[in-house]
């Protein structure tokens, strides 16, 4: 599932591929991709010049010269890639941005979505309005104010109204780095431990972004991904050795989600 890092990789690619250009041709291959707007509205929006491409949490926001915006949410398997043709597996939309290539919204599970907003409307879009600060902007006071002592830290971090962009993979990796137990409660951590988390979050995401930069992001469960080098120390590595203490990595469910951890060094 795309988290902050994967969406940021797509954003950086699109700045190079699309920003400052308008689509000369648009093919909407799946009319369920646009949500709460007519298919023609989505097609028309992409025909305007893109003036800015930014990310907010796990959302990709494209602003156009006519003051409209399109917000992409990739959900489980969505991504935007560059191809010679829109005729690729799992393509849901394609738009030509120059003579040599197309941008294609590819989505194997078809859960991703795009929403079109006219001038000023995006300011009222609730998921963006409710979103918490980006990891690099989080403060100790913010976490203490928004994380009750009895709440599990994992569920707090996955709450996008507390921190934007953090997902289940990131939590397993951050907890391993900081040696936090997977079920630790917010009130069980000292201010020093909370501050260590605040400092590690942007460091972790920057490392994953650097590792993942490519023309096409790859998700762990995609065909062929298992043979590629993984940037993760514990996520998806149940039964393997812990890179730090060489004990066995385990998998349990915390807050209804899978958590990978080392019992010996995450106490």
Active centre residues (catalytic): 2-3, 58, 257
134: its two tokens:
């980006």
d(CA 185, CA 156): 9
Q: What is the DSSP string of 169-212?
A: HHHHHHHHHHT--TT-BGGGS-HHHHHHHHHHHHHHHHHHHHHH
Q: Which of 254, 255, 144 is nearest to 189 (CA)?
A: 144
Alpha helices, DSSP H, located in the chain:
4-17, 39-46, 126-129, 140-146, 153-158, 168-178, 191-212
Contact 65, 19 (CB under 8 A): no
CA gap 102, 11 in Å, rounded: 16
Q: Distance between CA 174 and CA 200 in Å, rounded?
A: 7
- Is residue 149 exposed (0-12), middle (13-18) or buried (19+ Cβ within 10 Å)? exposed
């Amino acid at each position: 599932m795309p988290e902050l890092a994967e969406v940021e990789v797509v954003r950086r690619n699109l700045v190079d591929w699309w920003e400052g250009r308008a689509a000369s041709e648009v093919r909407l291959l799946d009319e369920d991709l646009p949500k709460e707007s007519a298919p023609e509205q989505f097609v028309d929006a992409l025909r305007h010049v893109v003036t800015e491409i930014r990310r907010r949490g796990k959302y990709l926001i494209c602003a156009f010269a006519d003051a409209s915006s399109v917000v992409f949410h990739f959900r489980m398997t969505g991504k935007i890639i560059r191809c010679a043709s829109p005729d690729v597996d799992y393509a849901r939309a394609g738009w030509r941005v120059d003579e040599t290539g197309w941008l294609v919204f590819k989505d194997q599970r078809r859960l991703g979505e795009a929403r079109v907003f006219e001038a000023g409307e995006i300011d009222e879009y609730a998921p963006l309005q409710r979103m918490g600060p980006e990891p690099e902007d989080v403060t100790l006071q913010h976490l203490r104010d928004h994380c009750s002592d009895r709440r599990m830290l994992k569920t707090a971090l996955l709450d996008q109204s507390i921190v934007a962009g953090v997902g289940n993979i990131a939590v397993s990796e951050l907890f391993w780095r900081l040696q936090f137990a997977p079920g630790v409660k917010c009130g069980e951590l000292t201010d020093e431990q909370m501050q260590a988390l605040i400092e590690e979050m942007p460091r972790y995401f920057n490392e994953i972004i650097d590792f993942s930069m490519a023309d096409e992001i790859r998700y762990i469960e995609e065909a062929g991904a298992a043979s590629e080098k993984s940037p993760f120390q514990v996520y998806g590595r149940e039964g393997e050795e812990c890179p730090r203490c060489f004990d066995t990595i385990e998998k349990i469910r915390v807050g209804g989600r899978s958590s990978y951890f080392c019992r010996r060094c995450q106490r």
